[in-house]
Amino acid sequence: MNQAELKYREATPEDIKDIMFIEDNSFEQGIREEEDVFLERIITFPNGFLLLEYKNKVIGYICSEIWEYQENIDLLDLKLGHSIKTIHDPAGEELYISSMGVLPEFRRKGLGELMFESLSNKLLKTYPKIKSILLIVSKNWLSAQRIYRKNGFREVATIPNFFQPLNLEHQDGIVMRSRVR
Ligand SMILES: CC(C)(COP(=O)(O)OP(=O)(O)OC[C@H]1O[C@@H](n2cnc3c(N)ncnc32)[C@H](O)[C@@H]1OP(=O)(O)O)[C@@H](O)C(=O)NCCC(=O)NCCS
């Protein structure tokens, strides 16, 4: 893979088809976000929605929100399909990573981790008040968990059966947090 052909950029509403293609190839039916949810994220916080391109083709996405910091997280805030508009606060102290995905043929090359680091470094610089990063991951998503643990995330809660894919076994959600300053 020619590293010089890799590029990051902010998402725009015109990218929605590419984002949905990655979503459909990354998550099972029943736990995918809807198009409208992604569009609202792009419009509300374009700075927090990054795409990774290889040879000008979109191969990955990562998106985020900024929340007011709460030591004890309201588990309802983590729900799939929640509206970014009602919770996003650029003056907040917590960065919430709402999702990320890389097309299957581009996985296990370090790109997921690069994408994660690129977004968090950029936002930590732009929003100096952020002191913590939060996310929820299925107990089955081992690659994602490995990236987060390597980057200092620790488990803070488990939500039984949080992920409920269609016609498949439910999966516990692991809430992870990293204190960044
Ligand atoms: C999670 C996800 C985005 C990670 O993307 P990725 O590009 O594969 O991530 P990385 O390559 O940085 O790291 C993943 C794995 O590749 C390994 N790896 C990194 N560089 C590598 C290389 N050059 N050669 C081989 N393996 C490598 C990592 O050690 C890690 O190992 P693991 O799979 O055994 O845990 C991707 O797997 C994905 O889209 N999964 C489905 C959706 C998902 O789970 N999203 C997370 C939501 S919280």
Compute the distance from residue 104 Cα to the ligand 1 centre, in Å: 10
Provide the 10 A C-beta neighbour count for residue 60: 26
d(CA 102, CA 58): 9
Does any ligand 1 atom lie closer than 6 A to the CB of residue 127? no
Please name the residue whose Cα sits nearest to atom 17 of ligand 1.
Answer: 108
Rounded Cα gap, residues 172 and 38, in angstroms? 23
The ligand 1 atom at the shortest distance from the C-alpha of residue 141 is 44
User: Ligand 1 centre from 144 Cα, in Å?
Assistant: 6
Q: How far apart are CA 8 and CA 50, in angstroms?
A: 7
For every one of its 181 residues, what pLDDT tens digit does the chain have, with 9 covering 90 and above? 999 999 999 999 999 999 999 999 999 999 999 999 999 999 999 999 999 999 999 999 999 999 999 999 988 889 999 999 999 999 999 999 999 999 999 999 999 999 999 999 999 999 999 999 999 999 999 999 999 999 999 999 999 999 999 999 999 999 999 999 9
18 touches 27 (CB < 8 A)? no
Domain 3-135 has CATH 3.40.630.30: yes
Mutation test of ligand 1: which of 143, 153, 159, 162 has the most ligand atoms closer than 8 Å to its C-beta? 143
**Can you tell me which atom of ligand 1 is nearest the CA of 103?**
39
Return the residue whose CA atom lies nearest to atom 23 of ligand 1: 109
User: How far is it, in rounded angstroms, from Cα 157 to Cα 168?
Assistant: 23
Contact in structure between 112 and 151 (CB atoms under 8 Å):
no
- Would the CB of 144 count as within 6 Å of ligand 1? yes
Closest-CA residue, ligand 1 atom 20, reads 110
- For the CA of 138, the closest atom of ligand 1 is 48
Q: Determine the pLDDT at residue 76.
A: 83
User: Taking a C-beta distance cutoff of 8 angstroms, is the pair 64, 98 a contact?
Assistant: yes
What are the boundaries of each domain within the chain?
3-135
Using alpha carbons only, give the angle 162, 74, 177 rounded to the nearest 5 degrees.
75
Distance 57 CA to ligand 1 centre (A): 19
Task: State how far the Cα of 56 lies from the Cα of 36, in Å rounded to an integer.
Answer: 24
Q: Is the dihedral of CA 17, 107, 88, 125 positive or negative?
A: negative
What is the DSSP track for 71-107? SS--GGGG-TT--HHHH--TT-SEEEEEEEEE-GGG-
What is the C-alpha to C-alpha distance for residues 16 and 18, in angstroms, rounded to an integer? 5
List the residue whose alpha carbon is closest to atom 31 of ligand 1: 143
Element at 132 (helix H, strand E): strand 132-138
